[in-house]
Amino acid sequence: MTYRDAETNIVYPLVTNTLDLPARTSADLYKERWQIELFFKWIKQNLKVKSILGTSMNAVKAQFWIILCAYLPSAVVSKVPVENQRVVTTYIIDIAAELVRARRFYKLFDPPKQENATQNGQLCLL
């Protein structure tokens, strides 16, 4: 089976065991598969992941989300001016700590309750 790319006019030989699919469909599936491979290559190179530990769909998704949750705050901090990085890092750590406590994320931004508005003369954030 062969496939001719309309843009480059190059003929690609396809080796496949799904002979009931048209060559164009097989080529499109391979192209999509290649995009997935490039995505995992990017994860391994940029997020410093040596290997994906799980083999089930759930395990791969879980590890992917954990990786992103670890990577995104560092990406945010790297874009902040150096003089503000400590403040942003502290804020990100506070958010992560609250998420670990399984509190509702939106509650972080609620104004303090009136009876606990001050403590030792200072306003209470939470």
Kindly report the number of other CB atoms within 10 A of residue 32's CB atom: 9
Global confidence as pTM: 0.44
Strand partners, 81: none
Q: Tell me what pLDDT residue 103 has.
A: 53
Q: Tell me what pLDDT residue 101 has.
A: 61
Q: Amino acid letter at 118?
A: T
Q: Tell me what pLDDT residue 106 has.
A: 63
Kindly report the number of other CB atoms within 10 A of residue 27's CB atom: 19
Reduced to 3 states (helix: H, G, I; strand: E, B; else coil), residue 64 is helix
- Summarised one tens digit per residue, pLDDT across range 61-114 is 888 887 787 778 877 887 888 888 888 888 777 776 666 565 565 666 666 565
Contact 13, 2 (CB under 8 A): yes
